[in-house]
Amino acid sequence: MYWNQTEIVLAARPRGIHLITEEVRAALPNLREVGVGILHLFIQHTSASLSINENADPEVRRDMARWLDHAIPDGAPYFRHVDEGDDDMPAHMKASVLGAALTIPIRKGALALGTWQGVYLAEHRDAGGRRRVMATIWGDRQGT
């Protein structure tokens, strides 16, 4: 059984939904060692989230961001937790809606994503800063 854990630090991004599949792959060259396994990704923040969705058309990401902003608006009068500004509590709500973790199968040294699937970072703050994602790989090594 093979185990590996790596912290991936993602550069600061503007608010929105960002495709990070290639960044994740590049940060985890040891994926190639795993024949069958699992990659678990966990974002260590409460105002950003992870998701898997359409990786081809950028409009999907923009539509998702627009829907989240419409469903959970900044500055809504019912939010009381506004210590860091109007986008503070909405960012926490959006992060809870999308989630903090992903589990992706590994097959023959590669992420076993569907043809049109990609890994998203959803940045819910106007100035969220760098984001840390803990990546844990476990599985059987290739050829064992």
Given this model, what pLDDT does residue 144 score?
A: 60
* Alpha-carbon gap, residue 9 to 130, rounded angstroms: 7
Compute the mean pLDDT over every residue in the chain, rounded to the nearest whole number.
96
Its pTM stands at 0.95
Given this model, what pLDDT does residue 143 score?
A: 72
- In this structure, the dihedral spanned by the alpha carbons of residues 99, 64, 47 and 49, taken in order and rounded to 10 degrees, is 40
Given this model, what pLDDT does residue 142 score?
A: 87
Q: What mean pLDDT comes out for the span 134-140?
A: 98
Q: How many other C-beta atoms lie within 10 A of the C-beta of residue 72?
A: 19
Residue 115 tokens read as: 């043809």
pLDDT per residue over 11-69, tens digit each?
999 999 999 999 999 999 999 999 999 999 999 999 999 999 999 999 999 999 999 99
Domains along the sequence of the chain with CATH: 2-141 (2.60.120.460)
